[in-house]
Structure formats: structure tokens, C-alpha cells
Copies of this chain bind each other. A is one copy, B any other.
């Protein structure tokens, strides 16, 4: 469901076409954070069928045509409703990150791994997280350079804070594992 509103939200700023939506997301967000084609194009079609967006084909000579989508009044209404609603902001989602964080799930079963291997696994994760933080910070300074809306920068900083928390916890967790005899 979120992809629908990521697209619709993008079209709230200005009309656009599939390829641009995709590249804006991947460029802005540094790398893997994109929409895959297999979801992007069918979603756009579906939104059109539902009357939330309107398509106009823009022919270009010497280049493939662009299917430019514009958000309709009904699309704006749908988006506005979603934005205002509490959908997805519930307490029910509170344990999500446990279930979805495979490193956390594995951590619960660390006793089934030799101590040495367990320690190595945590240390590897620490390195990964350090790299992630570095990348996020690089992206952050690019955002500041490009004078991106400070609110968007602030949201990005939430990512950095999250990974810094993770790094701190990993350090504590590593000590806890090292303390164990077996």
C-alpha cells in the first residue's frame, strides 16, 4: 500500500512519468531505495484506472514517448485522506522491527553458534552498520549542499540516529556475548 502513496505523494508536487519517478527516488535516496519496475508501472496503470491520476502521452522524437501522469482531484482527496488518517501509525506495529530484522532474529539463537563465530558475526554487523552510517552521513551533506528542505534532512537524520543506536547496542551486545562461558 505504501508504494501507492509514495507515487501519489510525488505527483502532489508535480506531474511526472514512470522513469522520472523511479530515478527521483533512487537518486534522492542514495542507491537501493527505489521502486522496481514490476511494481511502478502496474501501480501507475491501476491508479489511472481508479481515476486517481490522468495520463497524457508525450511524444518525443528521437526518444521513447513519456507517459506523463497528473494527479486528479479525486487523487488529491484520496492522498489527503490517507495523510490525515492514522493508518499505519498504530501501536500494532511496535514489534515490527523485531520480526523484520533478521540480525535480531538470529541473535535470539546465538547459543546454537560457536562463541567464536557468534562474536565474528556481531563484529561483521558492527562494520556493516559503520559503513551504513558513513554513507547516510555523506548523503546528508549532499542534501544540505543541494539545499533540500530541512524537514526532509531531518527525516534523513532519523535514519542516522537509528543506525547509531544500533551501533551502540551492538557494542553492548558484543560484551554480553563475550561474558558468556560457552
Chain A: residues with CB nearer than 8 A to chain B? Answer: 2, 5-6, 9, 12, 29-33, 79-80, 83-84, 86-100, 102-113, 117, 121, 124-125, 128, 131-132, 135-136, 149-152, 154-155, 157-159, 161-163, 165-166, 168-169, 172-173, 176-177, 180
Contact = CB atoms under 8 A, between A and B. Distances in A.
- A interface SS class: helix
**3 closest pairs, A vs B, by CB?**
A88-B102, A33-B95, A165-B165
B162 A131 contact: no
Nearest to A92: B32
A12 B102 contact: no
Contact of A162 (B91, B111, B165): B165
B151 A169 contact: no
Given A33-B98, A100-B100, A90 B162 contact: no
Given A97-B97, A111-B151, 17 more contacts: A9-B109, A29-B98, A32-B92, A33-B98, A79-B112, A86-B124, A91-B131, A94-B132, A96-B100, A98-B155, A104-B155, A151-B177, A154-B173, A157-B169, A158-B173, A162-B162, A165-B165
Contact of A95 (B84, B97, B150, B159): B159
Contacts of A125: 89
For this chain, the copies found in one complex come to 2
Most-contacted residue by chain B among A90, A96, A97, A172 (CB, 10 A): A97
B97 A162 contact: yes
Contact of A155 (B108, B131, B158): B108
